[in-house]
Structure 1
Amino acid sequence: MNIKSLLLGSAAALAVVSGAQAADAIVAAEPEAVEYVRVCDAYGTGYFYIPGTETCLKINGYVRFQVDVNRDASGTSDWDSFTRGQVQFTSKSDTEYGPLTGVIVLQTDADNATSQSSYLDSAYIDIAGFRAGLFYSWWDDGLSGETDSLASGPTLHNSIRYQYESGDFYAGISVDELEDSIHGTPLGGGLGESPNNVGIAAGIGGKAGAFSYQLIGGYDTDTEEGAIRGMGTVAIGPGTLGLAAAWASGPNAYFEESEWTVAAEYAIQATDKFKITPAVQYFANARNGGYITGGTYTTTTDFTDVDIWKAGVTLDYQIVENFYAKASVQWQDRTVAVDDNTWSGYFRLQRAF
């Protein structure tokens, strides 16, 4: 056997062995397909499909830093700062009755590192015009500035509501639980009636060209008093004129500030990023000597003969997209000597996402 025959034989044997190994080789399993997040554009921008479902989800919110200036804002200090974080989850899916919507809004306020409060700001279900859960009523709407006080606070209730919408028109009725109404702890800490009653609110509103309007009413079964409010805005010149008026038969959970009030503002769009809003409001026959904070409830008192004037200006500036600055200065004068000619205001930075 010569060298040439030996090399050819070795090559043939190697080819046979290699073929057998190739036939017996282990084939790696193909990786499972990854389901990437898909954009859901059926309900507007910002929605995406929850993987594995046909439900669309949107996450948005804001971070706010604010400095308040008013008398005894923090103890004996006339200024105080706080930070707020808010996140909102909105889910939507198609049904035979239209979109099924669920909303959860979580909010945390921090006055300092050890003084913080986290709470559920809203949570409700919405379908075919029906809404049930914890949400803000129509009374929470207001003019764009910060001078106006057109509702009693809080305006957040556990409610059931139906709202009909057609184009630029809506009309609805709401049944509200009024556990946070004005029948709270009486002055001096004595025992009093506990609030756990029902309110009925109704409203209509909409737009007609450059004009928008809203007319609402509410009846508090606890105090057996009611209130109505009208509000409208119209684009005039370089800005938007806003007018509002409210009347109450007596202090109630929907409006308790005064027997009646009128408010006006003019939001001037000075530039694409800068808005100036001067405003004024008058309260006739204010409640409890003109108690106009709307945050702490004591006991129901009748309207008095005290009148109040409020005036202020609010400045809004968009620094960059989704980043805003706001400053507001307010002045209040009463027809009595108590707290006459008081000033207040704040400065705010807010990043929305």
Structure 2
Amino acid sequence: MNIKSLLLGSAAALAVVSGAQAADAIVAAEPEPVEYVRVCDAYGTGYFYIPGTETCLLIDGYVRFQTDFGHEVGSTFASGRHGSDWDAFTRAQLQFTTKSDTEYGTLTGLIALRTNADSPNNDGDRGSGRNTFIDVAYIDIAGFRVGYQYSWWDDDLSGETDVLSSNETNHNSIRYQYEGGNWAAGVSVDELQGSTAEFSDDNQAVGVAAQVSATFGGVNAYLLGGYDTDTENGAIRGIVTADIGPGTLGLAGLWASGSNAYYEESEWAVAVQYAVKATDKFTITPGFQYFGSYGLVDQDDFSDDDAWTAGVTLDYQIAENLSSKISVQYFDSDAPGQDEQWTGFFRLQRAF
């Protein structure tokens, strides 16, 4: 009896212990709290709060397919480099914008990544036609902006006929812009190394630009100047746009003292365009520009030859975030040996 009782007691104790362990094994831990993405409507459509922060983030960009026709001197993808008069390429751009409130105002950070995919070069090197790079990256607060950014010289008329800047238009810059209601004024210091003027020796490679702009009703106007300390030359440009009738009239004028990174196409130039909104989706923009003393002879002297260009640009909004553009341009110069040129492109772009 004693042995039997001992065995039964041991079995019961084992059952109790085993039951306790089994019960412990199926107890689930408390789930961690999950923070879902919240919409941030303080800065416009598309922003959302980065989880765990008060910083708002916008992700957008576009995919573009474009075919250029004719020889387009100075273009990013110059036609004719494969022995033909046309060239197709694809571009993808992805942009990240962050915004948050501070005691100094809105703090903005922006990064835009761009990838261009073109056909290989004549040696068959496919990598030569594909490149990814930072298109823009800057910090902006209280009117100050520092980083790699497009200068005010990149702004021009809405059509594709005018040539209102020269060389590269994005630089590592420090700039300040004051906005006072319907007017604004600003100044920037630009690193011009890599934005080579025709006679630049790239020693100092620093530029200073300043602009003032104003809006009155349907009229917008601004005056812009730039000075290249390397070539010791500069340029001045003015643009006025006004809503007239069924469209918008645009006028521009420029003058340059000689070779400089901002503008050196000609000693002076005037341009005009009229963007007609034929329908809600279709815009027709004819344009014309005349170049006085087109081309440089030396650092400070322009040629005696004039030139002009005329063309038309057609923009059609196929669907929301899907647009097309067709542009055809004609160029003629008095310069000896300069042939007339027909250029153009077709573009299809999907924005998101």
Q: TM-score, normalised by structure 1?
A: 0.86
Distance 1:326 1:301 in 2: 38
Cα RMSD, aligned residues only: 2.0
Which residue is 1:313 aligned to? 312
CA-CA distance at 1:249 after TM superposition: 1.1
CA-CA distance at 1:301 after TM superposition: 6.6
Percent of paired sites with the same residue: 62
Which residue is 1:44 aligned to? 44
Which residue is 1:128 aligned to? 142
Q: Conserved in 1, the CA contact under 8 Å of 2:93 and 2:112?
A: yes
Amino acid at match of 1:59: I
Distance 1:152 1:163 in 2: 23
Distance 1:79 1:333 in 2: 20
Which residue among 84, 100, 105 is the counterpart of 2:112?
105
CA-CA distance at 1:337 after TM superposition: 4.2
Which residue among 218, 221, 230 is the counterpart of 1:213?
221
Q: Deviations over 1:98-122 (max 9, x none)?
A: 0111111110101037220111101
Distance 1:63 1:195 in 2: 38
Q: Deviations over 1:310-332 (max 9, x none)?
A: 00000000000000000000000
Distance 2:283 2:209 in 1: 33
CA-CA distance at 1:285 after TM superposition: 0.5
Aligned 1:56-205 pairs, distance under 5 A: 56-71=56-71, 73-112=80-119, 114=126, 115-183=129-197, 193-205=201-213
CA-CA distance at 1:158 after TM superposition: 0.6
**Please, which runs of 5 or more residues in structure 2 have no aligned partner?**
1-15, 72-78, 121-125
Distance 1:332 1:242 in 2: 20
Distance 2:235 2:226 in 1: 5
Secondary structure (helix, strand or coil) at the match of 2:34 reads coil
CA-CA distance at 1:31 after TM superposition: 1.8
Establish whether residue 228 from structure 1 lines up as the match of residue 236 from structure 2: yes
Deviates more, 1:110-119 or 1:200-209: 110-119
Aligned 1:275-290 pairs, distance under 5 A: 275-288=283-296
CA-CA distance at 1:213 after TM superposition: 1.1
Q: Conserved in 2, the CA contact under 8 Å of 1:40 and 1:49?
A: yes
Aligned 1:224-303 pairs, distance under 5 A: 224-288=232-296, 300=299, 302-303=301-302
Q: Conserved in 2, the CA contact under 8 Å of 1:182 and 1:300?
A: no
Q: Conserved in 2, the CA contact under 8 Å of 1:181 and 1:195?
A: no
Q: Deviations over 1:233-275 (max 9, x none)?
A: 0011110000000101112111101110000000000000000
Aligned length in residues? 318
Secondary structure (helix, strand or coil) at the match of 2:241 reads strand
CA-CA distance at 1:300 after TM superposition: 4.3
CA spacing shift, 1:153–1:183, aligned 2, 3 Å: closer
Distance 1:300 1:155 in 2: 20
Amino acid at match of 1:154: E
Q: Deviations over 1:10-66 (max 9, x none)?
A: xxxxxxx9xx99xx7865333222111111111111111111111111011100000
Distance 1:33 1:207 in 2: 50
Q: Conserved in 2, the CA contact under 8 Å of 1:174 and 1:201?
A: yes
Distance 1:301 1:66 in 2: 37
**Please, which runs of 5 or more residues in structure 1 have no aligned partner?**
1-16, 187-191, 290-298
Distance 1:340 1:275 in 2: 31
Secondary structure (helix, strand or coil) at the match of 1:244 reads strand
Q: TM-score, normalised by structure 2?
A: 0.86
Distance 2:141 2:40 in 1: 19
Distance 1:196 1:35 in 2: 52
Amino acid at match of 1:94: D
Which residue is 2:5 aligned to? none
Deviates more, 1:29-38 or 1:226-235: 29-38
Distance 2:204 2:62 in 1: 33
CA-CA distance at 1:74 after TM superposition: 3.0
Distance 1:262 1:226 in 2: 17
Secondary structure (helix, strand or coil) at the match of 1:51 reads coil
Distance 2:65 2:145 in 1: 32
Distance 1:198 1:42 in 2: 37
Which residue is 1:295 aligned to? none
Distance 1:320 1:239 in 2: 22
Distance 1:86 1:99 in 2: 25
Q: Conserved in 2, the CA contact under 8 Å of 1:223 and 1:251?
A: yes
Q: Deviations over 1:281-316 (max 9, x none)?
A: 000001247xxxxxxxxx847310110110000000
